[in-house]
Amino acid sequence: MPVPKAEFDALHPCDFYTPAELFEDDQLYTVYEIARLLQGLDPDAELDRETENVLLDWAIPWVMRHSDDLVVAEPRDDDEPGYYGVKE
């Protein structure tokens, strides 16, 4: 159900990092690591499954939105996710 804006003390811009701001040029990241980085966490930070799922809800659209600026590497093994990095 919608909530009136007046119920909140502050409203903030909905700004997100660009891939160049978020990633190291010579590194590739899984969507799980991207989810952490978007929240200002270390890529290997421990998260419970529920929190990780919420963060993935933000990370997956971010990857899709920035797909023109990203490269993708196939998983090295069947049980490993794909990797994303900054397009050169």
What DSSP string runs through 62-85?
HHHHTGGGEEEE--SSTTS--EEE
16 pLDDT above the threshold of 90 = no
Which of the four pLDDT bands, split at 50, 70 and 90, describes residue 88? confident
3-state secondary structure of 68: helix
**Paired tokens of 23:** 């990633």
| pLDDT digit string, tens, across residues 61-81 | 999 999 999 999 999 999 999
Structure pTM? 0.83
15 pLDDT above the threshold of 90 = no
> How many C-beta atoms surround the C-beta of residue 76 within 10 A?
9
pLDDT at 1 (0 to 100)? 93
